[in-house]
Amino acid sequence: MSTAKNQFLSLFSHITRRTRGVGVGKLSTPWFTKPIASAPMNGWSGPKLVAAVANHGGVPIFPIGYFTDPAAILKDLQSILPLLSDNGPQQDDIGDSEEEGAGNKTELLPYAVGFITFWLDRQGPDLLLKILEGQGDLPHPTPSGETTTTGGAKKALRPPAAVWFSFGDYRPYLKLIRQHGAAGTRVIVQVQTVQEAIDAQRDGVDVIVLQGTESGGHGAQRVRPLLSFIPEVVEALQERNKSNGLKVPAILAAGGISLNSQWRAVEALGASGVVVGTGFMPTFESPGAQHAKERILNASDGGDSTVRTRIFDELRDFGWPEGYDGRVVRNLVTDREEEDMKTRSVVEPKGAEAFKVLREDRTGTKEDWKRAVKDQDLDYIPLWAGTGVGLLKKQMSAAEWMDQLLGESEKDK
């Protein structure tokens, strides 16, 4: 896979990796060489998975999730660094690349951070600003061999390669990144509708992720399968390129992708890469619990064994905005919700009503929910996953899984 030919990867060609045996200052092979981004999965991705994906040339998105403690997130980000091969890009890599987009001297770390936008609205931009300043980095050697300190040498700290936004209005943050971020920091926006993709093109977003209804985790309540979603967006964006000269951003496809044939299919439809969540869940490096990983591996017929629902948002009380729900592996709660919908006129259980599905006698309470969370009881708590679950059979490392998806594993050679 040549990075120059791939629109998504060429956006990151300024993030380089030391090539051993080459004279100092003359290195620069692009860090990202595989058009796979690992999704920012709250509870299912973390420093180990992020580092494994980055080390193997993929683009990992670290999940910021429903954060309340910015310092804890920065600490987590710092813990990625020692896990990266070469401990991240080297100081003397700065500005070596002559490829488009390299035009700045700030070194960037080989991962992105992923925000849930409406949650960021609630918490305020402080954490985002700290990340843009590079506070998720660790002191590292400078070319002269000195060690910087976070207090004295802020300029030496490295911000991430990209910032991802999903579920909400990213525009204030896009402005903030363009004003305060490094010139090479890319902005990735995950969208759920054709209009949102058109708006993101107008706003000058670098990468648009088209999230199909097949996706695991949260997404649009209204159904848009990738097979029709991708070509409709591609056509709309190209039309605006012709009529208004608007640049067509790199397009990634997200939702239910587990096989090399699916990657080739979405590539044929116009995507220059994929975002995969569910496929990384059973990998060894994912922080998810083993019994949950096994449930993913044992699921079959993803369209049947997973279902979109809002009931867990009601139970968890995170205040998800209208228009979104999430795809989970079916369990007792979703089964009972469906049953209830057959016999009652309630379309979506709200508030206290939602807890009632937790018990056979329909008298469930918040305490029942707390118990289920404490016990990690998958019959009650959500196991977010996409329709691709039926295609995942074997536990493997993230690198092995990426090779398989790209048709680059031993058996493909």
Residue 41 or 84: the one with the smaller Cβ distance to ligand FMN is 41
Out of 189, 262, 388, 392, the residue judged to bind ligand FMN by CB under 6 A:
388
Q: Binder to ligand FMN among 29, 42, 260, 409 (CB under 6 A)?
A: 42
CA atoms 19, 25, 26, 28: torsion sign: positive
Contacting range for ligand FMN; rule: CB under 6 A; set: 2-10, 38-46, 175-183, 232-240: 38-46
- Given the structure tokens 């960021």, which residue do they identify? 120
Distance CA 174, CA 249 (A): 15
| Shortest distance in whole angstroms from residue 259 CB to ligand FMN | 12
| Buried b / exposed e along 367-396 (16+ C-beta atoms within 10 A) | ebbeebeeeeebebbbbbbbbbbbbbeebb
Which residues partner with 252 through β-bridges?
209, 273
For position 217 contacting ligand FMN by CB under 6 A, the verdict is yes
Question: In the set 132, 275, 333, 405, which binds ligand FMN (CB under 6 A)?
Answer: 275
CB of 345 to ligand FMN, least distance (A): 31
331 binds ligand FMN (CB under 6 A): no
Q: Which of 206, 214, 368, 403 binds ligand FMN (CB under 6 A)?
A: 214
How many whole angstroms separate alpha carbon 324 and alpha carbon 1?
36
Residues 147-206 that bind ligand FMN (CB under 6 A): 166, 190
Backbone angles phi, psi at 279, to 5 degrees: -60, -30
Q: How many residues bind ligand FMN (CB under 6 A)?
A: 29
Binding-site member from 279, 282, 349, 364 for ligand FMN (CB under 6 A)? 279
Strand order of the β-sheet with 217-220 is: 217-220, 324-329, 306-309
How many CB atoms lie under 10 A from the CB of residue 117?
Answer: 19
- With beta carbons less than 8 A apart as the criterion, state whether 37 and 275 touch: yes
Of 27 and 389, which has the nearer Cβ to ligand FMN? 389
Which of 6, 278, 309, 404 lies at the binding interface for ligand FMN (CB under 6 A)? 278
DSSP 155: G
Residues at the contact surface with ligand FMN, assessed by CB under 6 A: 39-42, 44, 63, 65, 114, 116, 166, 190, 211, 214-217, 254-257, 275-279, 384-386, 388
